Amino acid sequence: MSIEAALLLTESILLLATIILVVFSIKEGRRRNSLITQIDRATGTLTRMEYFIAAVDAIADANEEIRGCITGRKPVYGDIKRVSSFVRAIHRAATRGVAVKYMLPKFQDRLYVGQLYIKAGAEVKYGKLPLVHSMRFMVIDNNLVILAVPESKTEREMTKKGYVIPSESLAEILKSNFDSCWKEGATFQEYIKETIEQTGVTIDHLASELELKPRELRSIIE
């Protein structure tokens, strides 16, 4: 075999080895990215769980009042149980005399959570909520604040994580913002009537969407 042929064969072998290494590197990179994505999702789930646990604990410790500015998205999948525990905590708080008020954005798909909270004993209103784009909050007894941060800056994005902040000053600022929105907000009954007038939806159909019996919805409206 000539020197030229030997060099060509060697280059071919090295090129093949390089291609194989590149292919394995690409596959490894994809696996690594997939693993990072899965870890990120798991972390997001844990931080959401921490937020719900902190919120439920804060409601359980409330003595006088609770003011909340939330997105009120209809729960799906794992959030169904979390929201159920939230509603039970609200019911227990209202039963022992705590004044519970929640503001939700004026989206028709938020009526579902609104009726859950009302049945639990809370007062609910709907309106324009500037802060809900970048954060959601609860003020407990004018001295404890729970801030919830969404995944992105939009009313329709779910909460990613929460922070528990014992601060009377911050509580006072957020309470002032809440009270301003509350004065201009529409009650659940008013927003239901507005929805029926704007869309022409029947009581029976709307009750079905809210997972209520028609007589239950009529009772809430009246």
Evaluate whether residue 111 is within a structural domain.
yes
> Is 31 part of any domain?
no
- Who has greater pLDDT, 12 or 73? 73
| 210 is a domain residue | no
- 129: in domain: yes
Whether 29 is in a domain gets the answer no
Most confidently predicted of 146-150, 153-157, 199-203? 199-203
Over residues 190-205, the pLDDT tens digits come to 998 888 888 888 888 8
Grouping H, G, I as helix, E, B as strand and the rest as coil, residue 78 is coil
Mean pLDDT, the chain, whole residue set:
79
Q: What is the count of structural domains for the chain?
A: 1
> Contacts from 123-128 at CB under 8 Å and sequence distance 24+?
123/99, 124/187, 124/188, 125/101, 125/181, 125/182, 125/185, 125/186, 125/187, 125/188, 126/185, 126/186, 126/187, 126/188, 126/191, 127/103, 127/181, 127/182, 127/184, 127/185, 127/186, 128/181, 128/184
In a domain, 2, yes or no: no
**Residue 160: predicted pLDDT:** 62
Q: pLDDT-derived band of residue 3, with 50, 70 and 90 as boundaries?
A: low
Cβ pair 100, 159 in contact under 8 A: no
Mean pLDDT of 135-145: 88
Per-residue pLDDT, 45: 37
**96: CATH:** 3.30.870.10
Residue 204 domain flag: no
Which pLDDT belongs to residue 35?
41
Cα 137 to Cα 164: distance, rounded to the nearest angstrom: 10
pLDDT at 196: 86
Q: Is residue 75 part of a domain?
A: yes
Measure CA 104 to chain center.
12
Digit-coded pLDDT (tens) for 30-69: 655 554 444 344 333 336 677 788 888 889 999 999 999 9
Could you list the residue range(s) of the whole structural domain that residue 114 is in? 41-184
Assess whether pLDDT exceeds 90 at residue 125: yes
pTM over 0.85: no
